[in-house]
Each structure stands twice: as structure tokens, then as C-alpha cells.
Structure 1
């Protein structure tokens, strides 16, 4: 009986200890910063994850979403690292655009080690699209027009010059046979939503973005997707009709990871909470439905593994940027 009582006490102690760890940090007035204007991929990341967190009761009140545009994410990065670097209630939407800017030194004085990398919530494949009423219907047609008259086609994207939306265009242009990719015109805007608005207004002729920020404009009848930058067509009735660049003879692929970073001096308890919370969200049926409806593909990396993943992305982007002349 004594052994049984001792075992029961040990089990109770372990349970209490686990519970103590579980409630070591309780978030209050949570906030997600989207480093761009409403309508783009970072805004999508904050709003969709924030809603799912609340729906799953992982946070006790709705998450505030703050749009902090500027510098291709640089304004938000500087704000967090200089003014909010110990905020335990804050996470920031990030993506391949973030690692690209860090790789190219586009955030003055910034490095990946100034923040804590939390986790990913999926991969968002790149797309190249035109306005619905455009007379261009395929990706080879678009790049043939660029070859014949580079000044006649401007691409718009939600990242800065040299950013991920720009790099995707250059990769595809290079694969289409354009030798001097620096002749390809690209216009940067603060977020994919603004870039699409400029396209629809006739100020640019093509759009480079990601499937999640494009789908709503396709559904509304405003955009025509020329190519998805994936190895094969995306699954699901919503995406199966979108051709890939590969099937059109242009061997260009590009997946934009989506996830979060947190302030660099966030406590370990808070960091562990956010890593586990984002992981729980990612694994939920609710998030699987969001992924299915928005063309997100699986990418599950959290905590230390995610940090290593981002570090490799930065190193690979540095190499690519040098290859195409963006970095010396």
C-alpha cells in the first residue's frame, strides 16, 4: 500500500509540475505585426493564424493585428528589435521575403540573430499573373514580350527590389532564356494587395506574388494566373486548373515559407509557449482546412529546427543574389 501511495504521490507531483510548466506563461493582449499593408501575405498570416488561435482557445481573447508597412519589412524589424525586444505577447509574420531581405543586408544593421524564430505554418507557392482582361494567356507569351521589348512589361510585387517577389520573376526570366535578367522591369509595393491594385489600374502589366494572396483576386475575377512556380499542379479543386511554369517549358519553382519571429529578448517561457502554440495550431484540423482553402503546402518546422531552416535559407539566398548580380 505504501508503494502504491508513493507511486500515486509521484504521479500527482509530476502532473502538478507539468501543469506548472504549462501555465508558466499566460499571454495577455496578444498582438501579431504584419509588416505590410492589408491584403498581402503577411497580413493573411497574422489574421488567419490569429483567428485560429482564438477559435482553438489557445489564447483567451482575440489577437490584435497591426499593419506596420515600410522597407519591405524593415520598419517592423527595426521597431521590434529597438523598441519591443522584450515583449512576450508579440509575434511577427515572416516569410521568404524576410530571409531574403536579411540575406541581402536590406535591413540596415540587422541580422537574423536579433530575433527568435518561432515556427512555420506552411509553404506558399509563387505565382505570376496578369489582369483578367490581358491578351497574354501563357508564361512563355509574357516573357516573349519582355524579350522583344523589355520596357513594355513591368512586374509588380509586394517585396522590395531584390526581394523574394522580384527574385521569383528573375528566376523565371532566366529559365525562359533571358540572358540579362537585369533588363526585366520590377516595381516594388508595400504588400501584394497594393501591387494587385496597381496591376488592375493598368500601371503595370504583370504581378508576382504567392497563391494565398492571389486566390481572392482570382475568385473575384480580377486576376488570371499564368503560372504557379511548383513542380506540379497544386491539389484541390480551387488550384488544379492553374498551370505550372514547368509544364510550359520554363523550369522555375519557388515556395515562399510562412511563419513567425518573436522579439529577441522574449523570455524562454514565452518563447516556448509560442513555439508550442504555433505547432499545435499547425497540427489542428482547423488549420489544415485553412491550408487547403488557400493553397498552402505542408512545412512543419518549429523552434531550433525552424531557426536552422531560416539560417540555411539566408545562406542560399546570398548565393543566388550574387549569381544574378544583386549582391557583389
Structure 2
């Protein structure tokens, strides 16, 4: 039985009462020439400063650069590993002036915890990037590869950090456990905190995004053990780091980043936002973001995004079972 996230349940109970009252008045039909006007919210379910927040601000800025008569504003509603924000967004059902910028934890959180929503409660628009993880250790670490790390974990648990129980770091640990390693996980609130813990010697290794880990590799504070990508990074520094598969491990982690609308939006509104996001993705702001954050460009929209999420969900259930 999955443990409940009480905070999310409390938020959703209040939202249900409010949204139940609003449904008494039927909404007028959406015109064929509908466009958003005025303020558009872009909700991110995590605190400012993290990867999800950065992606939301890039998407908001790129959309605003279209100068199409609306102003996208990022709203942070953190708590419960994303549960509070996503529960709150359920109250936006049918609202074409609301967007959700989310990532793979929207799949994994309902698998691990008993929360009253899944990704199916929202309307997929566009997946605009894929991300992954790499594993780093201190410069004096006895481990030089992820294969050595897993082999060491067969003898006794290796202490690793993780930013959340359902995010990308937890997927790295799950992959290594499938390969026979054992790990003692120290929870942290963000990737930055995980890397600080590694710097201070409180953990032995750390999963991290490539963008977050690269400065420490360049300074010599850390050494890279492997990436969890399908192929090596196309980067002057990171291209030297082998993938876990190159080291003989059956391990790969892919994280999606995308934009969704509330459930119940009209097809006219859905089509409008898919087109607008596609135009925003042609901006220099978006291209610079993909390059600087060492992300994998992606463009999966509408029904194809929905099918991707269905497949991803099945894979995550296998990985976290």
C-alpha cells in the first residue's frame, strides 16, 4: 500500500469544494478564434532556483517574446515533492489561461505515494526537452566508474545523496539496485544540496544533472564515474565520460520536461498553445537554454506526447517496483 501525502490530500480536499461550487454555472462555448488575453499563469510545483523552475521561466520568457497579447507569469507552489502544486493545478480545469510546466516526477510521484491525481488529470501540450543524470564522486574517491560503484555496493551499502524520493536521482539509485548494488540514501532538497553534501564528505557519491556537475569537474573537486544517458554528451568536458552501458551496466535514466494544460480545456485552446509553444521553441532564449543546460532537444506534441507519457509511466512502474 502506498503511503499518502497528507499535505496534497488536504490541499485537494479544499480545491474540490471550491471547484464543485464553480461548476454550478456552465461555461460559454469557446470560440474558434480563441486566443489567451492578459495574464497567463505557468505553474511549477517546485521552489525557485531548481531545474523545473528554470525550465518554466525559459518557456514563459520565450512565449512572452511572441508578443501575442498575453503575459505568462511563473507561479511556484512547492511542497510534498510536487504534490501541492499539482493538486492545486487540478482546480484550473477548463481554464485556457493556465499552463503547467512539469517533468518526470509527475509520473513517478503517484507511483510511490497515494496522491489524488496522475498525469492523466492534465492535458499534454508539448514535451520540449529531455534530461538525464550523471554520477560524480570526490576527487579522492576509491571509485573510478559506476561499475566499480555497483560492485562495491554488493559488499556493503554505498552512501549516496538524492534530491527527493521520486525524482531523477531516485531513478539512478533504482537502476543501480537492479544491477545488484546496495545504497544508503541521504535525502536532500535539491541537486545543489546533494553536491554540497558530497563536497563536505557527508556522502560517497552523487547523482546530478550534467549542467550542475560540470563546474565541479572543471575545477577538479569531483570526478565523473559515468552518465546515465543513451550516448555520451556532445560537450568538450563531458564527452570523455562513458555511459553506464559502456561500462557493462544495464542502466539508463531519461527525464522529460514539458508543458501541460489543465484537464477539460477545449480542443481550440489545446491547439493554440501547441502552436504557440512550437513558435517559442524557435527563439534564441530556448536554444540557449538547451545548450547551456546540456539538455537533449525534444519536440513531442499533443496526442504523441500523451502516448509518450503512457509508455513512460509503464517504464517507471517497472523501475520503481
What TM-score do the two structures reach when normalised by structure 2? 0.78
Instruction: Work out which of the two has the higher radius of gyration on C-alpha atoms and give 1 or 2.
Output: 1
User: For residues 175 and 142 of structure 2, what CA distance do their matches in structure 1 show?
Assistant: 23
The one-character-per-residue Cα deviations of 1:257-287 (angstroms, maximum 9, x if unpaired) are 1112222134444332222222223344553
Structure 1 portions without partners, runs of 5+: 1-19, 323-328
Shift of 1:120: 0.5
Residue from 110, 122, 127 that aligns with 2:134? 127
Other-structure match for 1:301: 300
What TM-score do the two structures reach when normalised by structure 1? 0.76
Give every structure 1 segment of 4 or more consecutive aligned residues whose post-TM-superposition deviation is greater than 6 Å: none
User: What is the number of equivalent residue pairs in this alignment?
Assistant: 291
Q: Is 2:163–2:191's contact at 8 Å kept on the other side of the alignment?
A: yes
- Worse-matched range after superposition: 117-126 or 41-50: 41-50
Structure 2 portions without partners, runs of 5+: 1-30
User: For residues 220 and 93 of structure 1, what CA distance do their matches in structure 2 show?
Assistant: 33
Other-structure match for 2:87: 78
Residue from 53, 67, 81 that aligns with 2:76? 67
Q: Is 1:229–1:244's contact at 8 Å kept on the other side of the alignment?
A: yes
Shift of 1:171: 1.1
Pairing 1:165–2:169 present: yes
Shift of 1:219: 5.9
Other-structure match for 2:161: 156
The one-character-per-residue Cα deviations of 1:30-66 (angstroms, maximum 9, x if unpaired) are 33222222343212211222233234445654x4333
Q: What is the correspondence of 1:98-113 to structure 2 with a 5 Å cutoff?
A: 98-102=106-110, 104=111, 106-113=113-120
Could you say what the CA RMSD is over the residues aligned between the two structures, in angstroms? 2.9
Q: What is the correspondence of 1:1-328 to structure 2 with a 5 Å cutoff?
A: 24-57=34-67, 60-61=70-71, 63-81=72-90, 83-102=91-110, 104=111, 106-131=113-138, 134=141, 136-150=143-157, 153-160=158-165, 163-175=167-179, 178=180, 183-215=182-214, 218=217, 223-284=222-283, 286-322=285-321
Q: Is 1:92–1:261's contact at 8 Å kept on the other side of the alignment?
A: yes
User: For residues 242 and 84 of structure 1, what CA distance do their matches in structure 2 show?
Assistant: 44
Q: Is 1:125–1:210's contact at 8 Å kept on the other side of the alignment?
A: yes
